[in-house]
A and B are shown apart, each in its own frame.
Chain A
C-alpha cells in the first residue's frame, strides 16, 4: 500500500469543501481525481500535498504520515506559475535545489528535460518572453526535474495544442513505465480513460463514485447502443422499449437495460432488411458515467 487518503474533511466556514474523501493507490499507475468546477479537487490536492491541513482524516505514504517537504513529489498546478522576470534556467535550478538536488545533478537533469520537451533555446529567456504552451513545458520540467516517485498533475493538458498535448502524454506514459505514482485531475475524460485505472468523482465535496475504472464500466455492462441505418428505426426501437437519447448524423443512441434488448432491435432491423451502417453496443464512456453520477448527486 503506497498512498492512502482516509476520510478527509475540510470545511470553510459553513461550506464543506471536501467531505470524507478516501482512496488508495496500491500500485504505480495513474489515478484520476475528477469533479466539476468547485467540486473540491484542488482543495483535496492541496491537502494531500500538505499545503492545507484537513479538519480530520489522514494521508499516508508507504504507511507513514505524508510530509511534502520530505517526499520526492512533483506537482503541476492547475494555475501555472513562474517568476515572469527571472531567467528560466535560474528558476528551474532554484526549484530543483528546493527539492534537495545538488547543482550538478540538477543541471544534468535539466539538460535532459530541455531536450526532451524541445525548449533548449529558452534557458536564458525570461518566463514572460515564452508562449503559454512553452511556459507549461517549463512547469512540467519543474515538476519532473527531481524524478519524483509521486506526481500530481492538475489539468496537465489544458490549453495545449494537439502536438504538445501528445508530447505531454508521451511524458506521462514514460512516467508510468518508470513505475511512478501519478494523480491526475482533468476535465478531458478521454485522456483520463487513456491513462487511469482508479478514479474518484467528486461533486460538491462528496465522493459520488470511486473505484477501478474498468470494474466500474463492467458493473454498468454494455448498456450504450448506437445504431445507424438507411431508414427510420424509431418505431422498431419503441417496440423494443427503447427511446433515443440522442439522434445525430452518426446514428441514434439508446440506453439499453440488457444486451437482449439491443439484440432484439438488431434482429428487427435485419428482418425488415433495412441496410445497417453501424451497430455498436458498448460500456458507457467515463464522460457518460461522470455526467450521470454528478446529475444523480445534484438531484439528491
Chain B
C-alpha cells in the first residue's frame, strides 16, 4: 500500500464530514436519538423512584414522611399496648382516641377531608384458635397512599413484635428472627456475584452490545451508501482524476467514523446531563448518596455499593481509551467491508441486495455478543459469574468482539493480557481487510454492468488491476 495512493484523503475526509453533518438525516437523526436517550435516561432514573424502589435503595422506610391529620387505631384483639401506641405517636403518626365504633368511623371517613385513617385489627380464628391477624386500613378520599401503607406496615410490625414478646421471646431473640437470608448456587471455581452484581453484568453488556451494533453497523451502511452514490452518480470518475481510489475509501471511512464517534459522544453527553439533572429526583441520586456516604452502606445498600465498586471499580482513563480504540477498529472493520460492497454495485437499486452478506455478518457478530448474555440470565438466580464459552469466543472473534469487548473491559470481566490479545486479533483483521480493499477497490470502483458477487471480488484480489 503506497502512501502516494492515499494522498488527498484528508480533503475527501473533510468534504465527506462537513457534507454529512449538514444532511437532514444526520441532524434529524441526532435530535430524535438524543430525545429518546433523554426520555429513557430520565425514565430509568425517575420511574423506579415513583414506584417506590427509591425508598428501598435508600433504606428510608422510617423516614417516610407521614402526611396524616388523624389516625384511629381499633385493636379488637387487645394486642397493642399503650407503649406501642406511644411509639406510633413518636413516629409522627397522629393517633387519635375516639368513642365511635368502627362502622361510625368508616362512615365519617367517607366524607372526611384528606388525611384521616382508621386501622382495624382483628384476629382470624379456626376451631377457636388464632391462625392470623387481619389489618385493614380505611382512609378518607385523597389521603396520601404512601402514608397509609407506612402506617399499615408499622402496625403489622408492632403486632408481630408484641405477640413475640407476649409469648416470652426476648427483644434480642426477636431481632435474630428478622435476619435476611439469601440463597446462591455457585459453580466451584467461578467468581461469586451478588444479585446486584449479576444484574449489572447482565444489563451493561446487553445495552453496550446493542448500542455499539447500532452505531458501528449503521454507519458502515452509510459508508456503503456514500460510495455507491459516488460510483453510480459517476462522481467517482471525476474524483479519480485527482486522487487514487484508496484515498477516497480512507477519507470516506474515517469521516464516517468521526461522525459516528461524534454522534455517540453527543448522545452520551445528553444521557449524562439528563441523568445528572434528574438524579436528585430519581434512584440515580439515591445511588450517588449511598456511594458517597459510608454510613448509608448497610444491609441491601451495602450490596449495591459493593456491586458497583466490584463491577466498575477498575475503570481508569485507559479503560475509556481502549474502548474508543475497539470502537474505531470495529468501525473500520465493518466500514471497509461496506466500502467494498458499495463499490461493487453499478446501480443504487442493487445496493440492498449487495448488502445482504454484510448485514448477515453484522447480525452474526451482534448475536454472538448478545446471546451469551441472554443465556447467562441464569446467573441472576445463581449468583455465579459467567464462564459461557460462546461469550469467551465472542471476545476474540473479530466479527463479534467490537460489540462484546467494551462491556467486558468496563466490567473487568477479562484480564488486561486477554484484552490486549483480543484487540490485536481485531486489529490484525482490520489490516487484512484493508489490504484486500486496497487491492480490489481500484479494480471494482470503475466496474459497470452486472453486480459483482463476493466470489468475483475475492478472485479480483489475486489479480493485477
Q: Which residues in A have some Cβ–Cβ distance to B below 8 Å?
A: 46, 49, 51-53, 68-69, 73-75, 77, 79-86, 90, 94-95, 97-99, 139, 142
Chain B residues within an 8 Å CB radius of A95 = 238-239, 242
- Known contacts A68-B242, A97-B11, A98-B11: A53-B233 contact under CB 8 Å: no
Q: Is B15 located at the chain interface by the 8 A CB criterion?
A: yes
Are A82 and B446 in contact (CB-based, < 8 A)?
no
One of B4, B12, B235, B464 near A81 (C-beta < 8 A):
B235
B351-393, CB under 8 A of A: which get 1 and which 0?
A: 0000000000000000000000000000000000000000000
Chain B residues within an 8 Å CB radius of A83 = 19, 229-230, 233, 235
Are B235 and A69 in contact (CB-based, < 8 A)?
no
The complex places the Cα of A94 from the Cα of B23 at a distance, in Å, of 17
Within 8 A of A (CB), among B410-435: none
Are B11 and A46 in contact (CB-based, < 8 A)?
no
Q: Is B234 located at the chain interface by the 8 A CB criterion?
A: yes
Q: What is the distance, in angstroms, from A162's C-beta to the closest C-beta of chain B?
A: 25
Q: What is the distance, in angstroms, from A86's C-beta to the closest C-beta of chain B?
A: 6
Within 8 A of A (CB), among B229-247: 229-230, 233-244
- Known contacts A51-B446, A85-B23, A98-B8: A142-B238 contact under CB 8 Å: yes
Are B446 and A52 in contact (CB-based, < 8 A)?
yes
Q: What is the distance, in angstroms, from A296's C-beta to the closest C-beta of chain B?
A: 30
Told that A52-B465, A81-B233 touch, could you supply 12 new A-B pairs with CB distance under 8 A?
A: A46-B446, A53-B464, A69-B244, A81-B234, A82-B233, A83-B230, A83-B235, A85-B23, A95-B242, A97-B15, A98-B239, A142-B238
One of A69, A81, A85 near B242 (C-beta < 8 A):
A69
B6-20, CB under 8 A of A: which get 1 and which 0?
A: 011001100100010
Closest-by-CB residue of B relative to A139 is B238
Closest-by-CB residue of B relative to A76 is B238
The complex places the Cα of A62 from the Cα of B248 at a distance, in Å, of 28
Chain B residues within an 8 Å CB radius of A46 = 446
Which 10 residue pairs of A and B lie closest in terms of their CB atoms, listed nearest first? A81-B234, A98-B242, A81-B235, A75-B241, A94-B15, A79-B234, A77-B237, A51-B240, A81-B233, A97-B11
Q: What is the distance, in angstroms, from B348's C-beta to the closest C-beta of chain A?
A: 11
Chain B residues within an 8 Å CB radius of A99 = 242
Are A73 and B235 in contact (CB-based, < 8 A)?
no
Within 8 A of A (CB), among B203-242: 229-230, 233-242
Q: What is the distance, in angstroms, from A94's C-beta to the closest C-beta of chain B?
A: 4
Are A80 and B234 in contact (CB-based, < 8 A)?
yes
Chain A residues within an 8 Å CB radius of B234 = 77, 79-81
Chain B residues within an 8 Å CB radius of A97 = 11, 15
Are A82 and B242 in contact (CB-based, < 8 A)?
no
Q: What is the distance, in angstroms, from B32's C-beta to the closest C-beta of chain A?
A: 20
The complex places the Cα of A84 from the Cα of B19 at a distance, in Å, of 12
Among B242, B446, B464, max chain A CB count under 10 A is at: B242
- Known contacts A69-B8, A77-B238, A95-B238: A84-B244 contact under CB 8 Å: no
The complex places the Cα of A69 from the Cα of B243 at a distance, in Å, of 6
Chain A residues within an 8 Å CB radius of B19 = 83, 86, 90
Are B236 and A73 in contact (CB-based, < 8 A)?
no
The complex places the Cα of A107 from the Cα of B202 at a distance, in Å, of 57
- Known contacts A69-B8, A69-B244, A99-B242: A53-B237 contact under CB 8 Å: no
Chain A residues within an 8 Å CB radius of B242 = 68-69, 95, 98-99
Closest-by-CB residue of B relative to A84 is B233
16 pairs from A and B in contact (CB 8 Å cutoff): A46-B446, A49-B240, A51-B237, A51-B240, A69-B8, A73-B241, A74-B241, A75-B237, A77-B237, A79-B237, A83-B19, A94-B15, A95-B238, A95-B239, A98-B243, A99-B242
Are B11 and A81 in contact (CB-based, < 8 A)?
no
Chain A residues within an 8 Å CB radius of B235 = 81-83
Q: What is the distance, in angstroms, from A76's C-beta to the closest C-beta of chain B?
A: 9
Q: What is the distance, in angstroms, from A239's C-beta to the closest C-beta of chain B?
A: 56
Are B241 and A49 in contact (CB-based, < 8 A)?
yes
Q: What is the distance, in angstroms, from B192's C-beta to the closest C-beta of chain A?
A: 57
The complex places the Cα of A73 from the Cα of B465 at a distance, in Å, of 22
The complex places the Cα of A139 from the Cα of B464 at a distance, in Å, of 31
Q: What is the distance, in angstroms, from A55's C-beta to the closest C-beta of chain B?
A: 8
Chain A residues within an 8 Å CB radius of B240 = 49, 51, 68
Closest-by-CB residue of A relative to B16 is A94
Chain B residues within an 8 Å CB radius of A68 = 240-242
The complex places the Cα of A52 from the Cα of B240 at a distance, in Å, of 10
Q: What is the distance, in angstroms, from A63's C-beta to the closest C-beta of chain B?
A: 20
Chain B residues within an 8 Å CB radius of A81 = 233-238
Closest-by-CB residue of A relative to B7 is A69
Within 8 A of A (CB), among B1-39: 4, 7-8, 11-12, 15, 19, 23
The complex places the Cα of A52 from the Cα of B19 at a distance, in Å, of 29
Among B238, B241, B446, B464, max chain A CB count under 10 A is at: B241
Chain A residues within an 8 Å CB radius of B465 = 52-53
The complex places the Cα of A49 from the Cα of B241 at a distance, in Å, of 6
Chain B residues within an 8 Å CB radius of A51 = 237, 240-241, 446
Q: What is the distance, in angstroms, from A87's C-beta to the closest C-beta of chain B?
A: 9
The complex places the Cα of A46 from the Cα of B19 at a distance, in Å, of 28
The complex places the Cα of A81 from the Cα of B231 at a distance, in Å, of 9
The complex places the Cα of A241 from the Cα of B241 at a distance, in Å, of 55
Closest-by-CB residue of B relative to A12 is B447
The complex places the Cα of A49 from the Cα of B244 at a distance, in Å, of 11
Are A75 and B23 in contact (CB-based, < 8 A)?
no
Among A46, A80, A81, A97, max chain B CB count under 10 A is at: A81
The complex places the Cα of A159 from the Cα of B181 at a distance, in Å, of 85
Within 8 A of A (CB), among B93-119: none
The complex places the Cα of A114 from the Cα of B220 at a distance, in Å, of 37
Q: What is the distance, in angstroms, from B36's C-beta to the closest C-beta of chain A?
A: 26
